[in-house]
Chain A
């Protein structure tokens, strides 16, 4: 089931075009990484999806509600965490969560219970009674997640939730997001590709206000896999390289020490036949691998493509 649908969403700020027709769909319970270079329009898109900004044109639907026509109707179903989360600094973390629960009109008892749950889930129990003004960046980020979850949202929008954190904080937050994606759709933007690689099912790459690519992480790897094999040989018989060059799918090779890199013309054929060739040659292998690009390499290729 589709929970987020963007259709030809456009947005201009003055004469600057921020979004030039963004279209995509996200299915329920997907963890979607929303990638793109700075200025690609990630934050603008998220604000439009959350009903905080109006699109210049196009249609937006979140959790079955038309966000443009009925921004109030979508608020009960979503959670939102801005790039730099802000709170009332004079409140304690616990008070802030209770206040948020009040905005969703949770009954008092439920509000208390939900607050306690979320403080535990985000590891803020000890700091619960302290003023938010004195929280560290990581604690604020976790409180930001907690306040976004207070209503058990169907869709959770997180704008760069991990970018400002240290490695430990980042790891903890990613674990938290991994848990969240069991019950809700998580839509998060990031420029840390490694993070997206770890927890996302699917990615959208935004480039200059347009969707450059949407695919599952697996598809992406396949699509952007180069026809390159990397072999580490313990021993190779004499003349193997000559016979390798005679193979119909061979294109070029490069060897440095024990590592032999083979580029092929026909990946499917090579996948089938190269192991047999090596076996028949009697080569002793330490490693045999098809080069799979990291998400970062894919990202760079998509973004720099003209």
Chain B
């Protein structure tokens, strides 16, 4: 287990995934406060002279909220890109067989990967959100750090769902592209499903985004335990499915 974890973390370091993912989150995070700061200038220049422009002042926590909106798209895609090959590529090359013929359980093999990529995702996310909050504080106005932290934690669960879904997709397919595509469709399905049944609205991963935004807005989250329990359960189910599948696969 120790050897396997060491290997995963070293792989993330050596193959520059540790630079790429945090870099993307950092750029996305920095972009929001800067864009909001520059918005009046940009608009002023593009309007005919003499026009007076009255913009409502941007609330600092709104900027943090829009940062999450950025993470929803590019962030999730980057998480999928980083983790989609983690199992699929090793199976395709045959190195998975070479490793799993040695005394490493298939469950441990997958859980270690899940852990390593969750760690990477968390690191990238906090870096991005932290940068966004810090520059918002400097450029726009004071940040409610406690709300930023607790809202961020809720949102991070959503990203970890994406990690576990990608690990499952990577286990199901032996092509990286297929795994990435399946993970993307899976995330899409998880965000579309609640539109079909209203009860699922409160539970599915997208509910976490809503809750995080509410926390940012300074409102008390209602029934937060529901989506939290559901999604932590979902992560466990996705990982259990991945382990079940891998245990039945021939390498």
User: Which residue numbers of A lie inside 8 Å of B, CB to CB?
Assistant: 47, 50-54, 72, 75-76, 78, 80, 82, 84-88, 90, 99-100, 102-105, 144, 147, 151
Main secondary structure of the interface of B (DSSP, over half): helix
Contact A54 B99 (CB under 8 A): no
Instruction: Give the CA-CA distance A123 to B11 in the complex, in Å.
Output: 26
Contact A52 B100 (CB under 8 A): yes
Contacting residues of chain B (70-117) with chain A, CB-CB under 8 angstroms? 93-95, 97-105
Contacting residues of chain B (1-49) with chain A, CB-CB under 8 angstroms? 2-4, 6-7, 11, 14-15
Tell me which residues across on chain A come within 8 A of B98, comparing CB atoms: 80, 82, 85-87, 144, 147
Contact A88 B250 (CB under 8 A): no
> Could you list 21 A-B pairs, sorted by A, with CB under 8 Å?
A50-B101, A51-B101, A52-B97, A52-B251, A53-B251, A76-B103, A80-B97, A82-B94, A82-B98, A85-B94, A85-B98, A90-B11, A90-B14, A99-B6, A103-B4, A103-B103, A103-B104, A104-B103, A144-B98, A147-B98, A151-B102
3 interchain residue pairs of minimum CB distance: A102-B3, A86-B94, A86-B95
Contact B105 A72 (CB under 8 A): yes
Contact B95 A75 (CB under 8 A): no
Contact B3 A103 (CB under 8 A): yes
Tell me which residues across on chain A come within 8 A of B3, comparing CB atoms: 99, 102-103, 105
B56 CB to closest chain A CB (Å) equals 51
Instruction: Give the CA-CA distance A106 to B102 in the complex, in Å.
Output: 13
Instruction: Give the CA-CA distance A170 to B177 in the complex, in Å.
Output: 37
Instruction: Give the CA-CA distance A54 to B98 in the complex, in Å.
Output: 16
Contacting residues of chain B (192-251) with chain A, CB-CB under 8 angstroms? 250-251
Instruction: Give the CA-CA distance A76 to B11 in the complex, in Å.
Output: 25
Q: Given contact pairs A103-B104, A151-B102, enumerate 13 new A-B contacts (beta carbons under 8 Å).
A: A47-B251, A52-B97, A52-B100, A52-B250, A72-B103, A80-B98, A80-B101, A84-B94, A88-B95, A102-B3, A102-B6, A103-B4, A103-B102
Contact A90 B103 (CB under 8 A): no
Given A102-B2, A103-B3, are A54 and B250 also a contact pair (CB < 8 Å)?
A: yes
Tell me which residues across on chain B come within 8 A of A85, comparing CB atoms: 94, 98
Contact A99 B7 (CB under 8 A): yes
Instruction: Give the CA-CA distance A144 to B93 in the complex, in Å.
Output: 14
Q: Name which residue of chain A comes closest to B103, CB basis.
A: A75
Instruction: Give the CA-CA distance A80 to B101 in the complex, in Å.
Output: 7
A108 CB to closest chain B CB (Å) equals 11
Instruction: Give the CA-CA distance A144 to B101 in the complex, in Å.
Output: 13
Interface residues of B, CB < 8 Å — how many? Answer: 22
Q: Name which residue of chain A comes closest to B13, CB basis.
A: A90
Instruction: Give the CA-CA distance A251 to B221 in the complex, in Å.
Output: 101
Contact B101 A88 (CB under 8 A): no
Q: Which of B7, B101, B105, B251 has the most CB of A within 10 A?
A: B101
Instruction: Give the CA-CA distance A103 to B99 in the complex, in Å.
Output: 8
Instruction: Give the CA-CA distance A90 to B10 in the complex, in Å.
Output: 10
Instruction: Give the CA-CA distance A80 to B97 in the complex, in Å.
Output: 9
Tell me which residues across on chain A come within 8 A of B103, comparing CB atoms: 72, 75-76, 103-105
Tell me which residues across on chain B come within 8 A of A80, comparing CB atoms: 97-98, 101
B3 CB to closest chain A CB (Å) equals 3
Given A86-B95, A90-B14, A102-B2, are A52 and B7 also a contact pair (CB < 8 Å)?
A: no
Instruction: Give the CA-CA distance A154 to B210 in the complex, in Å.
Output: 58
Instruction: Give the CA-CA distance A85 to B102 in the complex, in Å.
Output: 14
Contact B7 A53 (CB under 8 A): no
Tell me which residues across on chain B come within 8 A of A84, comparing CB atoms: 94
A189 CB to closest chain B CB (Å) equals 15
Instruction: Give the CA-CA distance A104 to B7 in the complex, in Å.
Output: 14
B96 CB to closest chain A CB (Å) equals 8
Q: Name which residue of chain B comes closest to A150, CB basis.
A: B102
Q: Which of B93, B98, B250 has the most CB of A within 10 A?
A: B98
Instruction: Give the CA-CA distance A114 to B71 in the complex, in Å.
Output: 47
A65 CB to closest chain B CB (Å) equals 12
Instruction: Give the CA-CA distance A85 to B3 in the complex, in Å.
Output: 20
Interface residue from B95, B102, B250 paired with A47 (Cβ < 8 Å): B250
Tell me which residues across on chain B come within 8 A of A99, comparing CB atoms: 3, 6-7
Contact B94 A88 (CB under 8 A): no
Tell me which residues across on chain A come within 8 A of B93, comparing CB atoms: 86
CB-defined interface of B111-140 with A at 8 Å, one 1/0 digit per residue? Answer: 000000000000000000000000000000
B103 CB to closest chain A CB (Å) equals 4
Q: Which of B14, B15, B99, B102 has the most CB of A within 10 A?
A: B102
B33 CB to closest chain A CB (Å) equals 37
Given A82-B97, A102-B6, are A88 and B102 also a contact pair (CB < 8 Å)?
A: no
Q: Which of B14, B103, B104 has the most CB of A within 10 A?
A: B103
Q: Name which residue of chain A comes closest to B14, CB basis.
A: A90
Instruction: Give the CA-CA distance A147 to B101 in the complex, in Å.
Output: 11
Q: Name which residue of chain B comes closest to A131, CB basis.
A: B14
